[in-house]
Structure 1
Amino acid sequence: MIAALPATVYRVTRAAFAGTVEDALSGAGGLYDDGRWHRRGSHILYTSESTTLSMYERLVHADELFSERRTDRVMLAIALPRVSTMVLTEAEVAAGDPHWRCEGSLFCRAFGDRWLVSRASCALIVPSAADPNAANILLNPEHTEYRQIVAANCAMVSQDLEPDPRLAPMVQAHRRAAGA
């Protein structure tokens, strides 16, 4: 896992939410849904250290990714200036919750919520639940340094993120198991 903030991070989002740089980086999605590292009601931006990890993280929501809206996704490359950063290692997370990779870890959500409210740093590097050897970078839009990120370059990398069709059987099995 990385120990320092990368110069560029990546995010998959709906095209409708990426109309402007301000929209793309607003973190408003955190107001409406819980995430691994926060409870709904907070501005937060989830990013990844690579395009591959960004796509892999989206597979958590594979049924949505393979839906009829699949071409509504874009990959954003976000250039990060030097901002205050905290690092949470996989060992630290596992010490707080050995089952942290399971959906709905109270430890992860509580840690993220405390981090957001404290504004201890603008960025928080956390292990990916999909690949604990890789990292996601959480960004706090309420932090005073965040405006530096908003002012930085944000480029659309891909406009059509249709997943590999070989993954479709996995999604169908998931839907059957979920009773959809």
Structure 2
Amino acid sequence: MIVYRLSRGPYKNDLSGKGAELAGGRWNSKGVAILYTSESIALCTVEIAVHMPLGIVPKDYYLIKIELPDEASIKEIQEADLPKDWKSFPHANSTQLLGDAFVQEGDTLIFKVPSATVQGNYNYLINPRHPDFRQVSITETVLFEFDKRLFVKE
């Protein structure tokens, strides 16, 4: 399975989940390492855009193509099974608890979750502490140029 992520230059080869561990996110609390990836390049783009202040075009980003083992274990959660506040902004603690439990249980490598930004799309959260994580690999890294129309009001 191929998934994608957009990362700033200095972190383009880092799959440790350290950034999410330091900052926390929708699907993890601070202190819990998790690697956020998306099913498509378009979804990655939107996920970055929603976190950027209007007028600032992201620079020095790389598109990372990541291969996950075909036989990898996947835990999937349906939108209907999520707490009512799962799409809230700022993100809710309820979704962080779900992601934290996924990492701590350690049963599966991948957690497939619905995107809060693009209905009908999915993000794939990767547990860097899972034994199969050593089979996760970067297959391509290319400089990514965002379309400035996403960020600049004309």
Q: Distance between the aligned counterparts of 2:55 and 2:103, measured in 1?
A: 28
- Aligned residue number for residue 49 of structure 1: 39
Q: Distance between the aligned counterparts of 1:9 and 1:35, measured in 2?
A: 19
Q: Secondary structure at the match of 2:3?
A: strand
Please state how far the C-alpha of 1:66 moved relative to its aligned partner: 2.1
* Higher fraction of strand: 2
Q: Distance between the aligned counterparts of 2:24 and 2:96, measured in 1?
A: 8
Identify the match of residue 125 of structure 2 among 129, 134, 138.
Answer: 138
Q: Secondary structure at the match of 2:48?
A: helix
Q: Which moved more, 1:82-91 or 1:136-145?
A: 82-91
Q: Percent identity?
A: 30
Identify the match of residue 105 of structure 2 among 76, 101, 118.
Answer: 118
Q: Distance between the aligned counterparts of 1:85 and 1:162, measured in 2?
A: 31
Please state how far the C-alpha of 1:166 moved relative to its aligned partner: 5.2
1:92/1:153 Cα in 2 relative to 1: closer, same or farther (>3 Å)?
A: same
* Higher fraction of helix: 1
User: In the alignment, is the contact (CA less than 8 A) between 1:66 and 1:163 conserved in 2?
Assistant: no
- Aligned residue number for residue 108 of structure 1: 95
TM-score by length of 2: 0.90
Please state how far the C-alpha of 1:48 moved relative to its aligned partner: 0.3
User: In the alignment, is the contact (CA less than 8 A) between 1:58 and 1:65 conserved in 2?
Assistant: no
RMSD (CA atoms): 1.9
- Aligned residue number for residue 92 of structure 1: 81
- Aligned residue number for residue 66 of structure 1: 56
**1:4-59 CA-partner distances (Å, limit 9, x unpaired):** xxx110001111112x4xx2x11111221010000011211000000000101111
Q: Counterparts in 2 of 1:32-43, with a 5 A limit?
A: 32-43=22-33
Q: Distance between the aligned counterparts of 2:50 and 2:5, measured in 1?
A: 14
TM-score by length of 1: 0.78
Which consecutive residues of structure 2, in runs of 5 or more, have no partner in the other structure? none
User: In the alignment, is the contact (CA less than 8 A) between 2:115 and 2:122 conserved in 1?
Assistant: yes
Amino acid at match of 1:101: K
Q: Distance between the aligned counterparts of 1:89 and 1:132, measured in 2?
A: 12
Poorly superposed stretches of 4+, deviation over 3 Å: none
Please state how far the C-alpha of 1:130 moved relative to its aligned partner: 0.4
Count matched residues: 152
Please state how far the C-alpha of 1:65 moved relative to its aligned partner: 8.6
Amino acid at match of 1:29: G
Higher Cα Rg, which structure:
1
Q: Which moved more, 1:56-65 or 1:126-135?
A: 56-65
Identify the match of residue 78 of structure 1 among 59, 66, 78.
Answer: 66
